[in-house]
Amino acid sequence: MLFGEASIPVEKAVFPKALWLDRLIDIPPAIKQINKVLTSGRFPHFSIISGPPGSGQLIAALHAAQFLLCGSEHKPCGECLSCYKVNGLIHPDLHFSFPLIGAGALAIDHYGPFREAVKEQAYLDLPFWQRKFDADNKQFNISKAETWSVIERMSMKPNEGDCNVMVIWMPEFLGKEGNVLLKLLEEPPGNSYLIMATEDPSAILPTVRSRAQVFQLPPVDEGVLADYLCRQFSMEMDRAMEYAIISASDVATCINWASQQSVRWLDLGKMMFQKAFIGDPMGFLEWNERLIALSRDEQKQFFFFVERLLSLSLRTRHGLLTVREGVEVLEYAAKISGRMDAQTIDNMQIMITDTIYAIQRNANIRILLLDFMIKLSGLIRGV
């Protein structure tokens, strides 16, 4: 009380509830394991959250960060100021590191584009991130300068909470520079946490990986993913299931395909193989015109789709995949596998990789696609 005046209670600010956990379209056992460790107060100072592409590793890492930085008794509440800031990726004690272009590039200078990308696509993947920089052909990495920046930020005293949290997205891009972090991992400063969100833990140096507790996320269930696509994009279940199966439950890839629903990739792929099998020059031109009408990004997405289709056909051929009756994409993959041997499919995948690269390099699309069809027809027909 000051000068005899009664103190006025200050109401605690409450924000609209927003939890990173709610952005996951499926809650696998690994998330429950993370929650259990967080609740016990024994969350490791260094952890790796791993999983196949599109399984939500970054979302899981942000969920853990929101728990660790939440100021309420029941964590994460999603309504306090700390949760609000973590939700907006603007908490001063939440730090990020991610792949960039250039030897001296620092993540702290690119927080804006990163926040924008994650808010736009929580299931962030590298192709989406590359498009933010219009850098399909450029080499991304996490540089030595960035690893020292990670150490510097982790060594700072917390601004608002009682801990610092560093999330490294795509640590597989660290390469040998990961060795710079070893001392930090052995003797973490103060109350700090480093969480790596990766698609490929084998690409992380063994000396780094061995120091972490690893949480392994499974692929998202196909049925759950298909239901999500139907709700979010008003898709028919058949097409949603097609995307879920051929993408191997990669949520980011499915969202990308679903946002381009004006074209059905399987129909375009069937047309391509049909014209190539027949060896019809006029058919080549007809298919060409269909592809030319698409944007370059859609053209690349089509060839990515065909790559996945060929992968399915190889798995079908070797008995690694059961063909479910009524699932059109699996039935067509089985049909392809019966008409082409494994070597032909391998050569076709090489051709597709070269074509995607040429599209990225802004090659003359009309000539490129016609050349692709002529070579594809010759490869399939053994001419």
Q: What is the CATH number of the domain that holds 122?
A: 3.40.50.300
Nearest to 247 by CA among 81, 72, 53: 53
240-293 confidence digits (pLDDT tens): 988 898 888 999 999 988 887 666 888 999 999 999 999 989 999 999 999 999
> What is the residue range of 133's domain?
20-216
Asked, for residue 342, whether it belongs to a domain, the answer is yes
Nearest to 244 by CA among 329, 310, 326: 329
Asked, for residue 241, whether it belongs to a domain, the answer is no
pLDDT grade for 10, boundaries at 50, 70 and 90 = very low
Asked, for residue 99, whether it belongs to a domain, the answer is yes
Residues 132, 198: one domain?
yes
Confidence (pTM):
0.84
User: Of 182, 216, 250, which one is at a domain's C-terminal end?
Assistant: 216
Token representation of residue 194: 């480093």
304-360 confidence digits (pLDDT tens): 999 989 988 888 777 766 766 667 888 888 888 878 888 888 899 999 999 998 988
User: Of 158, 181, 216, which one is at a domain's C-terminal end?
Assistant: 216
Token representation of residue 117: 């990308």
128-164 confidence digits (pLDDT tens): 898 887 765 578 999 999 999 999 999 999 999 889 9
Report CA dihedral (328, 258, 118, 83) to the nearest 10 degrees.
Answer: -90
Residues 44, 192: one domain?
yes
Residues 63, 156: one domain?
yes
Residues 163, 294: one domain?
no
Residues 141, 51: one domain?
yes
Token representation of residue 208: 């780094």
Number of other CB atoms surrounding residue 174 within 10 Å:
27
DSSP state of 219: P
Q: Where are the alpha helices (DSSP H) in the chain?
A: 29-40, 57-69, 81-87, 111-120, 126-132, 144-155, 182-186, 206-209, 222-233, 237-246, 251-258, 265-278, 281-292, 296-317, 328-339, 342-360, 365-381
User: Of 216, 244, 271, which one is at a domain's C-terminal end?
Assistant: 216
Asked, for residue 187, whether it belongs to a domain, the answer is yes
Query: Do the Cβ atoms of 268 and 290 come closer than 8 Å?
Result: yes
Residues 131, 266: one domain?
no
Residues 78, 144: one domain?
yes
Asked, for residue 369, whether it belongs to a domain, the answer is yes
Distance of alpha carbon 264 from alpha carbon 260, whole angstroms? 8
Residues 197, 287: one domain?
no
Query: Do the Cβ atoms of 226 and 211 come closer than 8 Å?
Result: no
Asked, for residue 226, whether it belongs to a domain, the answer is no
166's enclosing H/E stretch is: strand 164-169
Question: Is the per-residue pLDDT at 50 higher than 90?
Answer: yes
Residues 36, 182: one domain?
yes
Asked, for residue 232, whether it belongs to a domain, the answer is no
Residues 182, 284: one domain?
no
Token representation of residue 276: 């190539």
Residues 189, 317: one domain?
no
Residues 266, 191: one domain?
no
Asked, for residue 300, whether it belongs to a domain, the answer is yes
Q: Looking at the 3D structure of the chain, how many domains does it have?
A: 2
